Amino acid sequence: MNKSLLLTALLFGSAVAIRGEKRSLSTPVWIADYHSLDFHGAGAPMNWAAWTDAKYGVAGRRLIPSGTAISLASGKIVPADGTTETFLLLTDAREDSTTDSISGYGVVVRGNVYEGLLPDSSGSLAVLATAVRNKARFYFQ
């Protein structure tokens, strides 16, 4: 990759991965106060088989966006359903990515976030489903 192109990409808050995927290097927009966030250890691996909703894509090419409401089942990330504690995915997760960490993705446990900017928020007020929201430990703004 051309060094000046890489430097330009880094200066403008994005980077281009080997296969041309655009990656953001900035703080996700849904975070209201980064210093208020608590994280789950060093993250957790993804249980890709649990992500069957068509909005995430097809098997082998799924994309889970940053800020998605998640839960942990047997130590792996699964979609939040409101029956267990709700967390948020810190970064985008791509099933077929050659650049994502195989050891896991960042998991936000609590903190100040903009609920209306989360990908799972819906309705005229853009809020999370009640069952999911009730199991979350976030201060929603």
Contact by Cβ (8 Å): 33, 111: yes
Report the 10 Å Cβ neighbour count for 62. 18
Closest CA to 35 of 111, 118, 91: 111
In a domain, 32, yes or no: yes
pLDDT at 18: 46
Q: Torsions phi, psi of 82, nearest 5?
A: 90, 0
Q: CATH number of the domain at 128, please.
A: 2.40.300
pLDDT at 11: 42
Structure tokens at 71: 């839960």
pLDDT at 46: 95
Average confidence (pLDDT) per 10 residues, the chain, 141 residues: 46 45 75 95 93 94 96 96 96 90 90 96 93 94 91
Overall domain count for the chain: 1
pLDDT at 22: 56
